[in-house]
DNA sequence: ATCTTAACGCGAATAGTCTTGCTTTAAGCG
DNA sequence: CGCTTAAAGCAAGACTATTCGCGTTAAGAT
């Protein structure tokens, strides 16, 4: 269980507070599995979670902010970056993992959440998640370098592997599969060799 | 001006019909320049366009469908695929063009529209636009082949150039610039040479 | 054990969204 | 030029979503 994402409460971190949060998050995920984001409403979440509507409005304000919060938590808690001993192994494991996530029922929700500007002020929006993940991936690349391999930059990794996977999820219904993920890894490694 | 997208009316293609459509589309674009999609409402569009709310509800049903329609029309009418005489020239012109579009105020709207499932039944959703554009791009690649160049496949083009540009628009606020676009073209051409 | 108070639950009030029946306008046709 | 009729305008009304005040609960502290 991680710390609050929406807003750091000055006190009362655990207990009922957390129970409500958990119930709401679960309800949102449940409902998103059953129907599209567009069909989701705060009233529904309230009913499903047993938490009163007013509470949800008070804590999250809008549906967009709520979904964004839930998605962020999901992504943050998601599996660690792999460490298989070889760059290729790491990349393949990672790519396959992302391909699965993005092809899953929540794939479109994740992507759409990135596009919904919910953070009111400052808040670097998505960067929160991306930076954390970016750091982990950078470590993966560093490990490869330490082994004497010739890894790509983080940006190259994002552009050559992540971007196409997301792109497919956005525009083609067909799920991106493991084979495709491996093709992308080949492409990235080919680029690195070349340099 | 293209034919209806929402639903082919059995009769009455031009005249007032078209005037209303134009007014509404313009209003939507206007408003999307001034504020986010989330702040947009049908009531607003009605006021700005001078078209009655009920009319908009009857023709488009939901805000999502309306925005989707407008966006699709925008994308469809957008500039033709370049023909500069060289593959590299074509690719660069195309990439720079896309980079500009996607970094513009409507960039996020375009992307988000792709994620909103508005088409009720069958309707291949985005494929409509993507296929048309795909066809044009394929022709561009064919021209290169006819000249004796060694062009990439359409899929490679989409994955190596388009996908990263979209990715940047989604996750980094920083506008993708022309320089970045050219880097991507280099990468794509490097891949083709290698084969 | 008791106190303090942030957060919750509840129901009512408000505001905003969407639908509907009817009237009016004007495009396309004879 | 005058019909016919799809589509637009209008306004009332139904339905949702959102906010608010107030009483209640329970977490954290003494």
What's the pLDDT score for residue A24? Answer: 98
Are B154 and B82 found together in one domain?
Answer: yes
With left for phi above 0 and alpha for psi between -120 and 50, is residue B20 left, alpha or beta?
alpha
Instruction: Establish if A172 belongs to a structural domain.
Output: yes
Question: Cα A175 from chain centroid?
Answer: 17
Residue whose pair of structure tokens reads 């960039």 in the numeric block: B107
Tens of pLDDT along chain A (195 residues) come to 333 333 344 455 567 789 999 999 999 999 999 999 999 999 999 999 999 999 999 999 999 999 999 998 998 887 889 999 999 999 999 999 999 999 889 999 999 998 886 554 545 556 667 888 899 999 999 999 999 999 999 999 999 999 999 999 998 877 778 999 999 999 999 998 866
What letters, b where the CB count within 10 A reaches 16 and e where it falls short, cover A37-73? Answer: beebebebbbebbebeeeebeebbeebbbbbbbbbbb
Q: Name every residue whose Cβ is closer than 8 Å to that of residue A105 and which is 6 or more positions away in sequence.
A: A32, A33
What's the pLDDT score for residue B193? Answer: 82
Instruction: Establish if A72 belongs to a structural domain.
Output: no
Report whether B164 contacts A159 (CB < 8 A): yes
Residue among B29, B167, B171, B48 nearest B105 (CA): B29
What's the pLDDT score for residue A14? Answer: 61
A96 is written with which tokens? 């396959």
Instruction: Establish if B117 belongs to a structural domain.
Output: yes
Residues of chain B positioned with their CB less than 8 A from the CB of A180: none
Domain that holds residue B22: 16-61
Residue among A135, A132, A16, A2 nearest A69 (CA): A2
Q: What is the DSSP letter of A80?
A: P
Instruction: Establish if A59 belongs to a structural domain.
Output: yes
What's the pLDDT score for residue B123? Answer: 55
What's the pLDDT score for residue B35? Answer: 94
For B80, phi then psi, to 5°, come to -75, 160
Are B104 and B23 found together in one domain?
Answer: no
The CATH code of the domain that includes A91 is 1.10.357.10
What's the pLDDT score for residue A27? Answer: 98
Instruction: Establish if B7 belongs to a structural domain.
Output: no
What's the pLDDT score for residue B118? Answer: 54
The answer to whether B170 contacts A64, with C-beta atoms less than 8 Å apart, is no
The answer to whether A114 contacts B171, with C-beta atoms less than 8 Å apart, is yes
What's the pLDDT score for residue B120? Answer: 47
Count the domains in chain B. 2
Q: Is B39 on the interface with A (CB under 8 A)?
A: no
Are B135 and B186 found together in one domain?
Answer: yes
Separation of alpha carbons B159 and A109, rounded Å: 21
Are A95 and A179 found together in one domain?
Answer: yes
Are A28 and A106 found together in one domain?
Answer: no
B127 is written with which tokens? 């494929």
Are B169 and B88 found together in one domain?
Answer: yes
Are B187 and B99 found together in one domain?
Answer: yes
Q: Is A54 on the interface with B (CB under 8 A)?
A: no
Report whether A82 contacts A32 (CB < 8 A): no
What's the pLDDT score for residue B112? Answer: 92
Residue whose pair of structure tokens reads 């957008």 in the numeric block: B78
Q: What is the DSSP letter of A105?
A: T
Are B56 and B79 found together in one domain?
Answer: no
DSSP 3-state assignment of A195? coil
Residue among B66, B106, B157, B111 nearest A170 (CA): B111
Instruction: Establish if A10 belongs to a structural domain.
Output: no
Report whether B161 contacts B186 (CB < 8 A): no
Tens of pLDDT along chain B (195 residues) come to 333 333 334 444 557 788 999 999 999 999 999 999 999 999 999 999 999 999 999 999 999 999 999 998 998 887 889 999 999 999 999 999 999 999 889 999 999 998 886 554 555 556 667 888 899 999 999 999 999 999 999 999 999 999 999 999 998 877 788 999 999 999 999 998 866
What's the pLDDT score for residue B129? Answer: 74
Q: How far is the CA of B34 from the C1' of C29 (A)?
A: 44
Instruction: Establish if A3 belongs to a structural domain.
Output: no
Q: Is B130 on the interface with A (CB under 8 A)?
A: yes
CA dist list (Å): A48 to A6, A26, B100: 21, 9, 44
Q: Is B182 on the interface with A (CB under 8 A)?
A: no
Question: Cα B101 from chain centroid?
Answer: 8
Report whether A177 contacts A98 (CB < 8 A): no
Residues of chain B positioned with their CB less than 8 A from the CB of A170: 111, 114-115, 126, 166
Domain-terminating residue out of B6, B38, B61: B61
Domain-terminating residue out of A8, A29, A63: A63
Are B89 and B170 found together in one domain?
Answer: yes
Are A38 and A85 found together in one domain?
Answer: no
pLDDT digits (tens, 9 = 90+) for B84-93: 999 999 999 9
Q: Which residue is nearest to nucleotide D28 (CA to C1')?
A: A12
With left for phi above 0 and alpha for psi between -120 and 50, is residue A2 left, alpha or beta?
beta
DSSP 3-state assignment of A57? helix
Are B45 and B135 found together in one domain?
Answer: no
The CATH code of the domain that includes A41 is 1.10.10.60
Separation of alpha carbons A150 and B174, rounded Å: 28
- Alpha helices for chain B (secondary structure H): 16-34, 42-49, 53-60, 63-77, 87-103, 107-115, 127-146, 154-157, 163-171, 178-194
Instruction: Establish if A55 belongs to a structural domain.
Output: yes
Residues of chain A positioned with their CB less than 8 A from the CB of B112: 112, 115-116
Are B184 and B104 found together in one domain?
Answer: yes
Closest C1' nucleotide to B13's CA: C27
Q: Is B35 on the interface with A (CB under 8 A)?
A: no
């Amino acid at each position: 269980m991680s710390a609050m994402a929406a807003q750091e409460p000055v006190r009362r971190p655990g207990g009922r507070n957390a129970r409500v949060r958990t119930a709401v998050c679960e309800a949102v995920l449940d409902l998103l599995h059953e129907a599209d984001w567009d069909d989701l409403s705060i009233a529904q979440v309230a009913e499903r979670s047993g938490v009163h509507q007013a509470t949800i409005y008070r804590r999250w304000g809008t549906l967009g902010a709520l979904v964004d919060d839930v998605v962020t938590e999901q992504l943050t808690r998601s599996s660690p970056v792999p460490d298989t001993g070889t760059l290729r192994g790491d990349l393949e494991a990672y790519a396959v993992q992302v391909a699965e996530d993005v092809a899953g029922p929540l794939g479109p929700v994740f992507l759409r959440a990135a596009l919904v500007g919910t953070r009111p002020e400052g808040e670097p929006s998505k960067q929160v998640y991306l930076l954390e993940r970016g750091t982990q991936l950078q470590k993966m690349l560093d490990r490869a370098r330490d082994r004497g391999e010739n890894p790509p930059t983080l940006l190259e990794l994002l552009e050559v592997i992540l971007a196409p996977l997301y792109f497919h999820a956005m525009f083609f219904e067909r799920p991106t599969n493991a084979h495709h993920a491996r093709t992308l890894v080949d492409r990235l490694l080919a680029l690195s060799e070349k340099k």
